[in-house]
Amino acid sequence: MEDKILLIHPEGKKGVSMNVKKYNVLQSAILDVLTIHGAITHTELITITSAEIIKNKIPFEGNIGWHIEWVKLDLESKGLIQRTKDKNKLYFSLKNNS
């Protein structure tokens, strides 16, 4: 039986369960992408993170965009990343905890 983690939605909506190994891979990839690229749009975050998973030949089953979205929401709810709005665009970046 695989270990699962319950993801949290930042707006308090019902979360989803995800395989822990899959979560850890995506969490690491998202945080790496934001560390390298800084504030990026939602589309860029999904596209670049997906490309990193493929480039590094990490085996992945399921809809990668959906999984990235849920891990992103979970990271927002845990205060690790933040969303900001500028000129009608949403940007995502690492949260500055200073």
Query: How much is the pTM?
Result: 0.90
Q: How far apart are CA 81 and CA 54, in angstroms?
A: 23
Judge whether 31 lies within some domain.
yes
Q: How confident is the model at residue 98 (pLDDT cuts 50, 70, 90)?
A: very low
Judge whether 14 lies within some domain.
no
Number of domains comprising the chain: 1
Q: How far is CA 26 from CA 3, 7, 35, 41, 68, in A?
A: 16, 13, 14, 17, 6
Tens-place pLDDT, residues 42-76: 999 999 999 999 888 877 788 899 999 999 999 99
Instruction: Tell me which H or E stretch contains 84.
Output: strand 81-86
Judge whether 72 lies within some domain.
yes
**So what's the pLDDT on residue 29?**
96
Judge whether 9 lies within some domain.
no
Residue 61 is which amino acid?
E
Structural domain boundaries enclosing 32: 22-94
Judge whether 42 lies within some domain.
yes
Say which CATH number the domain at 87 has. 1.10.10.10
